[in-house]
Chains A and B, each alone.
Chain A
């Protein structure tokens, strides 16, 4: 109650409302999702952290306990840092990490370059067209992600549709190798994540006050100037939100690079997967996850801030 008293600036009516509302039901409403997320989303990271300091054991589960009884009355805590040393000395991990960052960055820029004008066109079209376009953007998202990525194999293969079409048109006389290249991964990620870029951008662009652009025009600004000085800066939160929604998951992407991508250069998500499923080395897989998490913590935090400001905006 002392915390509440400190907020004297709050209007009396709002204060009363808030206090009466916090009954048993309200407390339960807060507690249920809170406890669930703590147990199934936050606490698991502690186990990942713990097991990343363990060592492999041929057993089930395949890792050694950290705390053990030594003799009768003493507990020994054994922290194995070899997993982390291993990650920093073996080239495989560093190169796949850097490669993942590169792929995610290029794909994010690609999504932005294609998604921004699309979102812009949708936001400036008439209401009837607008809902049709939005439906068309969201529709693929409702159908299987895995199958849509798989469809690209049929298009990009050496004897696939794109090569066949180009050969038939006489544009090329040798099939272009597109599968298992960086290009295929970029296409796959841009294709799968495009709605995540367009929707926040659209939500932002749609709210713009068009009077600002008219004022700029009346004052003699050319359309390009008006766009660069008004629309673009105003849409910055949308650009950042969309880019983070693409970039962060793309860094850890597994399905797209394993179906379309290179076999000589893995992404970090695939490395984690192989350590876990193929090598059954849970401790190294956990260490990979911890490093990945540490490096993504900044973009994730920025995304959370932005999201809570965006969603809290309408609240009085």
Chain B
């Protein structure tokens, strides 16, 4: 019965391992001392580092840049990634399918330094050849982010579609529905949860990316991770703890709200049926 204890123990240890750094950042973001690891009991807890953070123009500007890039990235990646996932899961064999499937999965594992360098060289060479994209900035960062995050969307959509067989779509077709109608009335509602989580994932990946952005960003398009990285490279700084705490809180609140909303949706879907049963 050794196995019965070992796995739960590893799960507990692993979860502690995953959360200790995050909890330590949250706790020390309220610490008055500039020494990040010494707890100044006399003056803590304090919101000093939060005030400092919101007074930091450079960070706020970078956050705004990152936010815009992430929103554009997520929207572009969702469209392209959904199309890729849909064609791979539903269109059967077509010429070049293997290549598309390879192209859509390679970005998941490709080391970021390679992707970043290759995209920069593409942008520089294209500018020489056709004059587009002019210089580097928010546009080039967004194009780069769409490219790697659409791969994640494609995988999510594909695995969602793989979980459902094609009988619904076939039935609609046999009843004479046109392909576009089938897509909007059946396939799209089916993969909507996958598209929603794909959008959020693409947003997070873009918001989080440092390496690729550093290669393809230009002056004036410094993203938040780029600013944070140049800061933490010089040493630990407590206002970064405050930033981390804010990000963790937003994500946690978002996930709680999302879970509640999903519960609400499924409750709303079952309720009318129950009422029907009663009448």
Give chain A's interface residues, CB within 8 Å of chain B. 3, 7, 14, 17-18, 20-23, 25-26, 29-30, 32-34, 36-45, 47-48, 51, 61, 114-115, 117-118, 120-122, 124, 133, 135-137, 139-148, 150-155, 157, 159-161, 164, 191, 194, 223-224, 227, 244-245, 248-249, 251-255, 258-259, 269, 272-273, 276-277, 282, 285-286, 289, 292-293, 296, 299-300, 303-304, 307-308, 311-316
Contact = CB atoms under 8 A, between A and B. Distances in A.
Contacts of B243: 147
B260 interface: no
B236 interface: yes
Contacts of B191: none
User: Secondary structure of the B side of the interface?
Assistant: helix
Given A140-B18, A144-B208, A304 B10 contact: no
B188 interface: no
Given A47-B118, A144-B225, A117 B22 contact: no
Contacts of B75: none
A26 B179 contact: yes
B264 interface: no
B68 to A, nearest CB: 17
Contact of B7 (A124, A135, A157, A303): A124
What is the interface residue range for chain B against chain A? 35 or more
A42 to B, nearest CB: 6
B20 to A, nearest CB: 7
Interface in B222-266: 225, 228-229, 232-233, 236, 240, 243-244, 247-248, 251-252, 255
A140 to B, nearest CB: 5
A153 B236 contact: yes
A286 B6 CA distance: 46
Interface stretch (B40-48, B52-60, B159-167): B159-167
A36 B118 contact: no
Contacts of B214: 277
Interface string B5-18: 01111110111011
A133 B11 CA distance: 9
Given A30-B87, A33-B104, A258-B233, A311 B159 contact: yes
9 contacts: A20-B179, A36-B150, A44-B118, A114-B13, A135-B255, A249-B110, A272-B113, A303-B105, A313-B162
A296 B100 contact: no
B72 interface: no
Interface in B73-117: 79-81, 83-84, 86-96, 98, 100-115, 117
